[in-house]
Amino acid sequence: MTTLSQWMVAAVWMVLVFLPVGLCAQDRPPALRDVGIDQKLNEQVPLDLTFHDESGKTVKLADYFGKRPVILTPVYYGCPMLCSLTLNGLVFAMKKLPFNAGQEFEVVTVSFDPHETAALAAEKKTNYLKSLSRPGAEAGWHFLTGDDASIRQLMSAVGFRYKWDEETKQYAHAAGLMVLTPQGRVARYFYGVEFPVRDLRLAQVEASANKIGSRVDQILLFCFHYDPATGKYSVIVGRIIQIGGVVTVLALAVLMTLLFWRERQARQSREGGAATG
């Protein structure tokens, strides 16, 4: 590959990595400035916190720890879009995992909306278990609700920052999940709504051995100002889509450059061979 081609590939990666980060830092609306996911690796979550499971029973967070690693998914069940995408992404990964919820790991989905009910949690559990279609998973995937104090303590421990927007009556929040050790220490973060199966499996294996992963790069997806009537988000997501278009054009430019370069090299080789003959 020529130096020019290498430079163009590097340029594409710079756009992919740095431009979204700059966008989040500079162009966030006020409601998103205090929203995000801080990496608090090796932080101990308070296992004595009480919640309600999908049946309405009062439970302690400790009930889901002690034997297996835990995948923690902070969501709110009334979320108009992003939380569903996060859980759908988890279902997709779990279908491909060689492990089973309730046997090799636990999944604890916690609503950070203190007004949501166990009945709504039960409805969500039924829907996602049906989508997962894995026998026995109902014993290993738990959908919790709780009071504001317990929710805030748990979310603070794992670095999940969210904010209620009174104008839109929605929560502003980022998308991601955490893998915790059987003892309740934060071992690994996953951002976005798609979770590579190999990485998720490795994170569980390491967490089960009480190994804490290293910090990972984060490009946050935010849920904010979603309009169910139009099915659209606010300008910040529109900007990201525009960036995606720019990246696509640059990637095509790199591909075309490589193809032209290879064709030119092949032509020169053929001409050189003919001249020698």
Indicate the pLDDT class of residue 65, thresholds 50, 70 and 90.
very high
Cα radius of gyration (the chain)? 23
Indicate the pLDDT class of residue 211, thresholds 50, 70 and 90.
very high
Mean pLDDT, the chain, integer = 82
How far from 37 is each of 6, 120, 253, CA to CA, in Å? 33, 25, 34
pLDDT per position as a tens digit, 70-86: 999 999 999 988 899 99
Residues 45, 51: Cα–Cα separation, whole Å: 14
pLDDT per position as a tens digit, 88-145: 999 999 999 999 999 999 999 999 999 999 999 999 999 999 999 999 999 999 999 9
Tell me which range, 13-22, 196-205, 255-264, is most confidently predicted by mean pLDDT: 196-205
pLDDT computed for residue 223 by the predictor = 67
Q: Range with the lowest mean pLDDT among 132-136, 260-264, 271-275?
A: 271-275
User: Would you say how long the chain is, in residues?
Assistant: 277
pLDDT exceeds cutoff 60 at 277: no
% of the chain at pLDDT higher than 90: 59
Tokens of 237: 């997501």
pLDDT exceeds cutoff 80 at 217: no
Q: Range with the lowest mean pLDDT among 26-35, 39-48, 179-188, 258-267?
A: 26-35
Are 234 and 224 a contacting pair, CB within 8 Å?
yes
Q: What is the DSSP string of the chain?
A: --HHHHHHHHHHHHHHHHHHHHHHHHH--GGGTT-EE---TTPBP-TT-EEE-TTS-EEEGGGG-SSS-EEEEEE-TT-SSHHHHHHHHHHHHHHH-SS-BTTTBEEEEEES-TT--HHHHHHHHHHHHHHH--TTGGGTEEEEB--HHHHHHHHHHHTEE-EEETTTTEEEEE-EEEEE-TTSBEEEEEESS---HHHHHHHHHHHHTT-----------EE-S-BTTTTB--HHHHHHHHHHHHHHHHHHHHHHHHHHHHHHHHHHHHHHHHHH-
pLDDT exceeds cutoff 60 at 14: no
Indicate the pLDDT class of residue 182, thresholds 50, 70 and 90.
very high
**Interior angle at CA 172, CA 109 and CA 232, nearest 5:** 105
pLDDT exceeds cutoff 70 at 202: yes
Average pLDDT over residues 11-33: 48
Indicate the pLDDT class of residue 66, thresholds 50, 70 and 90.
very high
Please list, residue by residue across 28-46, b when 16 or more beta carbons sit within 10 angstroms of its beta carbon and e when fewer do.
Answer: beebbeebbbebbbebebe
Indicate the pLDDT class of residue 215, thresholds 50, 70 and 90.
confident
Indicate the pLDDT class of residue 157, thresholds 50, 70 and 90.
very high
Tokens of 119: 């009945």
Indicate the pLDDT class of residue 10, thresholds 50, 70 and 90.
very low
Given its phi and psi angles, is residue 211 left (phi above 0), alpha (psi -120 to 50 degrees) or beta?
beta
Are 207 and 181 a contacting pair, CB within 8 Å?
yes
Return the sign of the alpha-carbon dihedral for residues 246, 252, 255, 259.
Answer: negative
pLDDT computed for residue 49 by the predictor = 98
Average pLDDT over residues 225-237: 46
